[in-house]
Structure 1
Amino acid sequence: MDGAQDPDIIALYKRIRTNPEYLEGQNDLPFAETPLHGAASEGRTHLALEILRLKPSLGKKLNLDGLSPLDLALRNEHTSTVKRLVKYYPELIRVQGREGITPLHYVVETEDIDLLIEFLMVCPSSIKDLTVRDETAVHIAIKNKKLRAFKVLLGWLRRNDNITVLRCRDEQGNTMLHLAALTNQPQACFYNADILYIVLFRA
């Protein structure tokens, strides 16, 4: 179906014709359940993309639960919608929702390896984002015992020469090595001996 004939998009422009400030009014609120939240939550990909194209700022808007449109698409398992949204606007991966959790943090916690790899590819800088507890994606992987996600993150950091992320400390002063020891995960500590050496001994 041609995009111009999509019934969702036709309905959107009817609303805009009736009320030209339809999207703008939502944008002015500090928190709002915007039309983009609704479209993303329901997996209506073309409508979500059209709204995002018209009003990119809505992509960073949080609803009353502290969730972004991309968060809702993720939580409702609309993977194709997620992939199209981040392809169009990669910075959505860095939008911090409730407790500073980003979509990257979420896919680490749920160990969605395909999306984790895709997020790192389209938005490499997202690896640096911290939660309100000063946790990196690596902290989250270790804390939740997501070894596969940890291995992906570790490999990514190594290939991109960004090992300093592994030295980051959470609000309690724990590096990923401290957390691995505290949660009895020696396999995480010794998964890659040369990286372990870099973290421990290089300035």
Structure 2
Amino acid sequence: MAASNNSSVSSKLLDAITNDDMEAWQLLILANPKVFDLAVWPENPLILACKLRRFAFILVIGNIKPELALQKIQDGTTVLHLSSIYGDEEMVMALLDLRVNVDRPLCYEKDDDFFMIPLQFAVVHGHVDVILLLLSACPDSITELNSDKQTVFHLAAEYCVPDAFRVLVGEAKKLNREYLLDEEDSHGNTVLHIAVHYKQLRIVKMCLPDQLSSTTDGHDFPIRVNAKNMNDETALDLCDKIPDPDHETRQIDSIIRKAIRREMSLSPDSGADHRHRKRGSSTSTTIPSWLTLETKNVLLVVLAIFITLAFTLTCSLPTFFPKEYLLAIDLEFELKDLLYAKLPVIFYFMSFITVLLTTSTCILSVLLYSLPCGTLMLLGGFVTFILYLLLAYFVMPKFSVRVGSRRRLPSYYLMLILALGFIFVGSLLIHLGDCLILCCNNYAKSVINKVVSKFWSRRNKRLPISNPSFQVQMSQVGNALLASTSTSNN
């Protein structure tokens, strides 16, 4: 009997909302104060009030039972989500005061498909006024991520809404959240990657403002212009891949290159990966991330010590191995003696020293070439190597190794061939190792990307862009409800 009475009261309350009869509503609530906890509602009264735009009822019901606003009504969204999608500022203001609990307002609730809050939907659809309303009520909602770990800045760039992006940048500065501009999504893309991919010139300008200009759209937070995504691509790489570049693409390319040069001028030995390339060129100059100024200085000292040590050891060998000079003169060995280590010990020492000095001289010359007098430094390294070759020629004992039946190879030339062959094989192995590590790294990234996408993304599709206004849709629903109510009364 009580259940039937509660059901009757809930139906009368819904009729009061439909007829916009607040007096009847208040009388029913006073007579049945626990009806929200006991009644079975044929329709959510708060959502019905939103559909019919009964703002007085929204306030009253929200104060009594704010949890009603959590019901999902369309594609897993709440009524605040829909209000944000359609840019209904009045409805958003009415719903923002509803708190489903003390610590978490309604504006933090996420939909079922994309795990997005109302602010993110407002950004996708470019409703600037709604964005400001939501951020004023819930400032920390600017840090929320969707199912693809995208920030509101990612979404503004992906859905090409530069006005929303500009407002978000301003709000992020007020809230000290500028770091969000440099966050990565589940695919490793920063906002700059997304903006370049969709050729959003205005957003690129806001990401990389000209420090010499007095633009108000820019910000002071340094974006990593050379950041790489999971495909090992920078924003400049994506720009180079755009087919048939137009005027906007060329402007984006110019802005990124200026930002790279500016970053290098501010920190010439920074750990960033800088690439200077012309469109259509396959060559690139990469500065290793570990080559900082301190590392470079230490490396220069170590290489200079190696070269000095090589010269010192070469000059001292006749003193350490005097017998070998007497015994090895004019001797003839077989090629297999080289493999069995039967040649004079001084030969192996000289081969090792040649490898050490050659590699040290080459690396030192490359490092010194970046200095203002780099050409002279390179010439000095070449002269040092020639001096060593002359010294090694006089130090090496004069014996020969028979190759084949008649051909004899002098010890000095065999030493050079062995040293250069060792350097070549070592460089090849290092290069193959780097390629193998890179392939394994890319494979691991792709596996991680698939796993992340599987567990983070609920649907592999972009958000739908809605056309009709929220007011029109709600009015149509309200008219249908009024018509059905009048028919049932008759």
Name the structure 1 match of 2:28: 14
| Conservation of the 8 A alpha-carbon contact between 2:153 and 2:181 | yes
Give the aligned residue type for 2:169: L
1:102 corresponds to which residue? 117
Bigger Cα displacement from structure 2, 69-78 vs 136-145: 69-78
Question: Are 1:79 and 2:94 counterparts?
Answer: no
Q: Deviations over 1:80-132 (max 9, x none)?
A: 12212214558222211131121111211221111111211121011011111
The residue matched to 1:191 in structure 2 has which SS? helix
> Who is 2:224 aligned against?
200
C-alpha distance in 2 between matches for 1:125 and 1:54? 26
Q: TM-score, normalised by structure 1?
A: 0.79
- Shift of the 136–59 alpha-carbon distance from structure 1 to 2, 3 Å rule, reads same
Change (3 A) 1:16 1:109: farther
Aligned to 1:151: 166
Match of 2:198 in 1: 183
Code of the residue aligned with 2:170 in structure 1: it is G
Letter paired with 1:157: A
The structural deviation recorded for 1:138 is 1.0
Partner residue, 2:79: 69
Tell me: CA distance 1:72–1:144, structure 2 relative to 1, closer, same or farther (3 Å).
closer
Rate the CA distance shift 1:74–1:12 in 2: closer, same or farther, 3 A.
farther
The 1-side partners of 2:188 and 2:169 are apart by: 20
- Which amino acid in the other structure matches residue 119 of structure 2? L
Alignment CA distance shift 1:19-1:60 (3 Å): same
- Which residue is 1:93 aligned to? 107
Alpha-carbon distance in structure 1 between the residues aligned to 2:188 and 2:30: 51
Whether the aligned pair in 2 keeps the contact of 1:59 and 1:68 (CA below 8 Å) is yes
Provide structure 1 residue ranges, at least 5 long, that are not aligned to the other structure: 1-5
Corresponding residue for residue 406 of structure 2:
none
> Are the equivalent residues in 2 in contact too, given 1:166–1:199 (CA < 8 A)?
yes
- Number of the residue aligned with 1:3: none
CA spacing shift, 1:73–1:169, aligned 2, 3 Å: same
Identity of aligned residues (%): 23
The partner residue of 2:140 within 101, 125, 140 is 125
Say if 1:135 and 1:170, in contact at 8 Å, map to a contact too: yes
Deviates more, 1:90-99 or 1:46-55: 90-99
Q: Does the CA-based 8 Å contact 1:120-1:126 persist in structure 2?
A: yes
The CA distance in 2 between the partners of 1:18 and 1:76, in whole Å, is 36
State the shift of 1:54 in Å: 0.5
Separation in 1, partners of 2:203, 2:86: 30
Q: 1:63-96, CA deviations, whole angstroms, 9 ceiling, x for partnerless residues? A: 3631112123345654312212214558222211
Counterpart CA distance in 2 for 1:76 and 1:13 is: 35
Q: TM-score if structure 2 supplies the norm length?
A: 0.35
Q: Aligned with 1:100: secondary structure?
A: coil
Query: 1:36-61: CA deviations, max 9, x gaps?
Result: 22222332111111111111222333
Give the conservation status (yes or no) of the 8 Å contact 2:88–2:130: no
Distance 1:186 1:121 in 2: 28
Q: Distance in 2 between matches of 1:23 and 1:198?
A: 53
Specify whether residues 64 and 143 from structure 1 end up closer, same or farther in structure 2 by C-alpha distance, changes over 3 A only: closer
The offset of 1:14, in angstroms, is 2.7
Structure of larger gyration radius = 2
SS at match of 1:198: coil
* Matched AA of 1:188: I
Q: 1:51 to 1:167 in 2, by over 3 A?
A: same
Matched, 1:48 2:63: no
Aligned to 2:129: 114
Deviation of the 1:159 alpha carbon: 2.3
Between 1:115-124 and 1:145-154, the stretch displaced more is 115-124
Paired with 1:52 and 1:129, the residues of 2 have a C-alpha distance of: 25
